[in-house]
Amino acid sequence: MTTIPSHARVVIIGGGIVGCSVAYHLGKRGCPDVLLLERKRLTSGTTWHAAGLVGQLRATHNLTRLAQYTTQLYEGLERETGQATGFRQVGSIAVAASAARLEELKRGASMARCFGLEVEILSPAAAKERWPLLSVDGVLGAVFLPKDGRTNPIDTTQALARGARHAGVRIVEDIKVTAIRIERGRVRGVATAAGEVRADAVVNCAGMWAREVGDWANVTVPLHPAEHFYIVTQPIPGLTPSLPILRDADACSYFKEDAGKLLVGWFEPRAKPWGERGIPEDFAFEQLPADLSHIEPLFASAMRRVPALESAGVQLFFNGPESFTPDDRYLLGEAPEVRGLYVAAGFNSIGIQSAGGAGKVLADWIIDGHPPFDLWDVDIRRCAPFQRNKRYLRDRTVESLGLLYAMHWPFRQAETSRGVRRSALHDRLAAAGACFGEVAGFERANWFATSGMQARYQYSYGRQNWFEQSAGEHRAVRERVGLFDQSSFAKLVLRGRDASAVLGRVCANDVDVPIGRIVYTQWLNERGGIEADLTVTREAEDSYLIVTSCANQTRDFSWLSRSIPDDAHAVAVDVSSAYAVLGLMGPRSRELLATLTDDDLSNAAFPFATSRIIDLGYARVRASRITYVGELGYELYVPTEFAQSVYDVIVGAGGSFGLQLAGYHALNSLRMERAYRHWGHDITADDTPLEAGLEFAVAWDKRGGFVGREALLRQRQAGVRRRLVAVALEREDRMLYHNEPIWRDRELVGAISSGMFGHTVGAPLGLGYVAGGGALVSEEWIAAGRYEVEVAAERIPARVSVRPFYDASRARVKG
């Protein structure tokens, strides 16, 4: 029987391409005592049967950096290890068969350029020249990425494994891990059929088994396998090994030359979940039964794009399982539930092209204790605990696979597994015409349909069907008063006699304030990067209420809990479900609220950034004078069982003040005009308060200091080299969403981090960072430039400012 060591610094569970890449990169960084355990043979799970496409353009800059790195790694791996990989940089062509798809591709091309990828926009004829078997019937245009490639997944994994072994990693096959050992919230090792292994860190790279492996440690790893299909034809004359990959997303199809044959694969709109009752114990190098009736319509649409398929004959019908996550993004990083337990799984059919980058950054994360740059899009801390629910996952998987090739419409909402988390006001909002969108399973009113209109999205890249409704909500807030249901906020309480000292170290702003004060603050890492952006209310001498966004519930709670020293008298509790939140916002909010309470709401008695418990209707609620929309307003924290009665009295009294229900799209357009930052887009762990223009929220000299202060001081001394600015397009008919390149005096200087139409300013607005090629960025330099923003390959003049376009003096907020 194989013997394994009784101790390792790191144990990796799973020898697919991802586990081998993590092993390779740990080895390269010189990490000693790394042990990879594979239950069967390397690649025997999903990796062995992948099609091997290696694309580079992803939805965000950092994910693109990872995919780009993968290409560079694979390019040199054979030279380095002596193991052939089959990697070839043949390029890829994506064709568009509709105007909307062409806009999507062109927006992608603009983004690619901004990320430093080579890209060409092709006419249909030019696409055919590069791909002679292509029928350009109905094709409006195409995009060519010359550095995309393809590889042999088995050989590439073996090359990574060989590189890892050279670097001292021990790889053992035919040993199944059967349990994860945890002591006091920290991983301590694994159990296997061949004995126990003590370890300082464990990495779950178990592919479609990773959810079950996570369950052993009570860690949420939301993924579910689905069947994934391709065929390989008989040889087709004229195919050459240098033929680019071809994608026709409108036909759900991709095409790859494969030893003189064509491999044709699909991302169909309704996928087939697999493995609901568990994965068979012996599953290794296995195929699932071919389902011809399932692929028949897909095959037909592929034939329309490549007519040579009609006569080619099929040599292989392939069906293999791959795991998908609820949001089609993979799961990476240290699990919030258990220290030292890392996850790299759920690769949504891009595991081959992602493995290089994901393995590298995870190795850095394990060794350095933090990721090398912001990886929020794939960070496992974005997951909510309920997302482990199998039924939820199975039903979402039906849709997730196809969404990879579906139109990536702005504001697109999932159709499956909906209605999971609902506010206490949900039914009232639905009856009032709410169209809901989902964040971490929470249904939130995004906009309200007016009479005669269906509360359903009609998507486009331009003004969508809710544009005017949302504009009406926006104006009501600016001119009168609007009511938002913000119950999805995460609410955390930190309590104990050391609460003030503990939170003081975590927050960059000063939270040792009088009871009833609200503090807007960031939580920083040691490098000065922004880990969280939230408000802190001192409820009592020894108690704080911390309010953050729904998407950051797990992450911020984990950051806070891990920041409490063992000997401190402070405990963090997540009280999110205990309170509904109503945002009453607008110049008439005070007048309206005054009709429902006897408490003194005057500016003198209840100024901005303070919070008090008041009577409201028959209830007692916490009213916090704070805003994310740039107007006088109150966030009302209402114990959940009082939410409906409080809502009813507000709405009942609201008519004479012109009260209007408003949704998250209006919230977004309102905050954009005031240039309020959004964590995850405008501010991330890669951005500091100085770069983000948030120095006003840094209490440099407070007692006890704060995490990140030294790094921030160094940056203040040296000056910043990039700066967040507000951007307004000079044309009203183009929308800004995300990642549109910003040009200054014809030089690329940055990209839009978030965008929305500003109905009061009357222009498409965005926020984004600008940088001057490593030079210091001053306000004068910013003001001196002439700017354009590139939207779908077209440059549009824009205004740029370090101050908000609306109420820069904050007079309305303080009024």
Ligand X SMILES: Cc1cc2nc3c(=O)[nH]c(=O)nc-3n(C[C@H](O)[C@H](O)[C@H](O)COP(=O)(O)OP(=O)(O)OC[C@H]3O[C@@H](n4cnc5c(N)ncnc54)[C@H](O)[C@@H]3O)c2cc1C
Q: Residues interacting with ligand X, by CB under 6 A? A: 13-19, 37-40, 44-47, 49-53, 176-177, 205-209, 213, 228, 230, 320, 322, 345, 347, 349-353
Which positions ≥6 away from 632 have C-beta within 8 Å?
A: 585, 586, 587, 589, 590, 812, 813, 815
Q: Are 259 and 233 in contact (CB under 8 A)?
A: no
Decide whether 219 or 601 has the Cβ nearer to ligand X. 219
CA 398 to CA 386: how far, in whole Å? 18
Closest by CA to 436, choosing from 407, 408, 456, is 456
Q: Say if strands 331-334 and 341-345 run parallel, antiparallel, or are unpaired.
A: antiparallel
Backbone angles phi, psi at 566, to 5 degrees: -55, -35
By three-state DSSP, how is residue 711 classified? helix
Decide whether 136 or 345 has the Cβ nearer to ligand X. 345
Decide whether 60 or 521 has the Cβ nearer to ligand X. 60
By three-state DSSP, how is residue 338 classified? coil
Minimum distance from residue 313 beta carbon to ligand X (Å):
20
Minimum distance from residue 29 beta carbon to ligand X (Å):
20
Minimum distance from residue 555 beta carbon to ligand X (Å):
23
Decide whether 245 or 582 has the Cβ nearer to ligand X. 245
Sign of CA dihedral 464, 470, 472, 478: negative
CA 315 to CA 104: how far, in whole Å? 34
- Residue 809 buriedness (CB in 10 A; 0-12 / 13-18 / 19+): exposed
Tell me the Ramachandran region of residue 328: left when phi exceeds 0, alpha when psi lies from -120 to 50, beta otherwise: left
Decide whether 51 or 434 has the Cβ nearer to ligand X. 51
Spatial strand order of the sheet with 659-661 comes to 611-616, 619-624, 633-639, 579-585, 481-485, 659-661
Query: What tokens does 121 get?
Result: 């926009």
Minimum distance from residue 440 beta carbon to ligand X (Å):
24
Decide whether 106 or 228 has the Cβ nearer to ligand X. 228
Max CA pair span of the chain: 85
Decide whether 40 or 799 has the Cβ nearer to ligand X. 40
Backbone angles phi, psi at 497, to 5 degrees: -70, -20
CA 91 to CA 99: how far, in whole Å? 23
Minimum distance from residue 322 beta carbon to ligand X (Å):
4
Minimum distance from residue 323 beta carbon to ligand X (Å):
8
By three-state DSSP, how is residue 237 classified? coil
Minimum distance from residue 37 beta carbon to ligand X (Å):
5
Decide whether 114 or 203 has the Cβ nearer to ligand X. 203
Alpha helices (H) in 507-642, listed in sequence order: 553-562, 589-594
Decide whether 206 or 403 has the Cβ nearer to ligand X. 206
- Residue 732 buriedness (CB in 10 A; 0-12 / 13-18 / 19+): exposed
Decide whether 19 or 693 has the Cβ nearer to ligand X. 19
Decide whether 52 or 529 has the Cβ nearer to ligand X. 52
Minimum distance from residue 502 beta carbon to ligand X (Å):
38
Minimum distance from residue 387 beta carbon to ligand X (Å):
18
Minimum distance from residue 46 beta carbon to ligand X (Å):
4
Decide whether 325 or 549 has the Cβ nearer to ligand X. 325
Decide whether 317 or 520 has the Cβ nearer to ligand X. 317
Backbone angles phi, psi at 561, to 5 degrees: -60, -40
Decide whether 236 or 279 has the Cβ nearer to ligand X. 279
CA 196 to CA 177: how far, in whole Å? 9
Minimum distance from residue 225 beta carbon to ligand X (Å):
9
By three-state DSSP, how is residue 549 classified? coil
CA 535 to CA 537: how far, in whole Å? 7
By three-state DSSP, how is residue 609 classified? coil
Q: Are 197 and 5 in contact (CB under 8 A)?
A: yes
Decide whether 117 or 623 has the Cβ nearer to ligand X. 117
Decide whether 281 or 780 has the Cβ nearer to ligand X. 281
The full DSSP string for 664-694 is: HHHHHHHHHHTT---BTTTB-TT--TTTTT-
H or E stretch including 301? helix 292-305
Alpha helices (H) in 82-207, listed in sequence order: 99-114, 124-130, 153-166
Decide whether 52 or 633 has the Cβ nearer to ligand X. 52
Minimum distance from residue 89 beta carbon to ligand X (Å):
15
Minimum distance from residue 43 beta carbon to ligand X (Å):
6
Decide whether 77 or 213 has the Cβ nearer to ligand X. 213
Minimum distance from residue 17 beta carbon to ligand X (Å):
5
Minimum distance from residue 351 beta carbon to ligand X (Å):
2
Tokens 């203040």 sit at which residue? 716
A 10 A CB-CB count for 318 gives 16
CA 511 to CA 535: how far, in whole Å? 10
By three-state DSSP, how is residue 474 classified? helix
Q: In 469-589, where do the E strands start and end?
A: 481-485, 490-495, 518-524, 530-540, 543-548, 571-574, 579-585
Minimum distance from residue 142 beta carbon to ligand X (Å):
19
Query: What tokens does 412 get?
Result: 């697109």
In angstroms and rounded to an integer, the radius of gyration of the C-alpha atoms of the chain is 27
Minimum distance from residue 143 beta carbon to ligand X (Å):
18
Minimum distance from residue 219 beta carbon to ligand X (Å):
14
Q: In 733-780, where do the E strands start and end?
A: 741-744, 747-758, 763-771
CA 330 to CA 97: how far, in whole Å? 29
